[in-house]
Amino acid sequence: MQRPSELDADAARYRKVIPAGEYWIDVVKMGERFRIVDVEGNQAADTLLFSAADPGDRYSIVDTMREQRNVYLGVGSKLLSTAGNTLAEIVADTVGRHDTLGGACAAESNSVRYALDKRTMHACRDSFLLAVAKHDHFNLSKRDLTHNINFFMNVPVTAEGGLEFADGLSGPGKYVELRAAMDIIVLISNCPQLNNPCNAYNPTPLEILIWDSDVP
């Protein structure tokens, strides 16, 4: 289901473009809404969420899928933590559904899915690792980098229970918008993947916008 946002981009308190292959990490306060924009289309936003008060309480794919009884994320999806708390809820979406099964690309998956010589290519897990290393005040470490959300990615589940990485459902300017249910740390890797045809082998920018909690 698609539901456009009623919020005006010009009223956002914060706007930042995330170049292809880069990461973004910051705290979004309870009640604030944040939008991730697929600027040029079919770009993956690999995203992790953590409780700012207790980073060990982080996004849980298992609890999220179990409670909503759906393997895809969309409007109304509550993103649950390992303790069963709601971290955020998707309140607007112009794409329709998002993946949380495919995981983040890494040196190991690049080797298995593409070729051994792709192992050294930059991957989302590298961006995650760099983010937690350079921003140690968030009290995150390598062990906190678990299952993530892949906003804008289309990963159909086959009849046999496998996964396919298909052409994206997104397009230029499409977005997903979430409301933080508590103070959360948001970590986004703008996927640097050069081997997947879903983005035409051309990673492109994302943009993030944040509105204050008192914005209607």
- Answer whether residue 6 is part of any domain: no
- Answer whether residue 15 is part of any domain: no
- Answer whether residue 5 is part of any domain: no
Each residue's pLDDT expressed in tens, for the chain with a length of 216 residues: 899 999 999 999 999 999 999 999 999 999 999 999 999 998 999 999 999 999 999 999 999 999 989 999 999 999 999 999 999 999 999 999 998 987 777 545 444 454 344 445 557 889 999 999 999 999 999 999 999 999 998 866 766 766 666 667 899 999 999 999 999 999 999 986 655 656 666 789 999 999 999 876
Spell out a b/e string for 30-45, using b for 16 or more CB atoms within 10 Å of the CB, else e: eebbbbbbbbbbbbbb
- Answer whether residue 52 is part of any domain: yes
Q: How far apart are CA 205 and CA 195, in angstroms?
A: 17
Count of domains observed in the chain: 1
Q: How far apart are the first and last CA of the chain?
A: 22
Cα separation values, 39 from 85, 99, 206, 207, Å: 31, 18, 5, 7
Residue keyed to tokens 């939008």: 35
Count the helices and strands in the chain (H runs, E runs): 3, 12
Q: What is the extent of the structural domain holding 120?
A: 20-211
- Answer whether residue 58 is part of any domain: yes
- Answer whether residue 40 is part of any domain: yes
pTM reported for the whole predicted model: 0.90
Residues paired with 157 in a beta bridge: 163
Nearest residue to 77 (alpha-carbon basis) of 163, 149, 28: 149
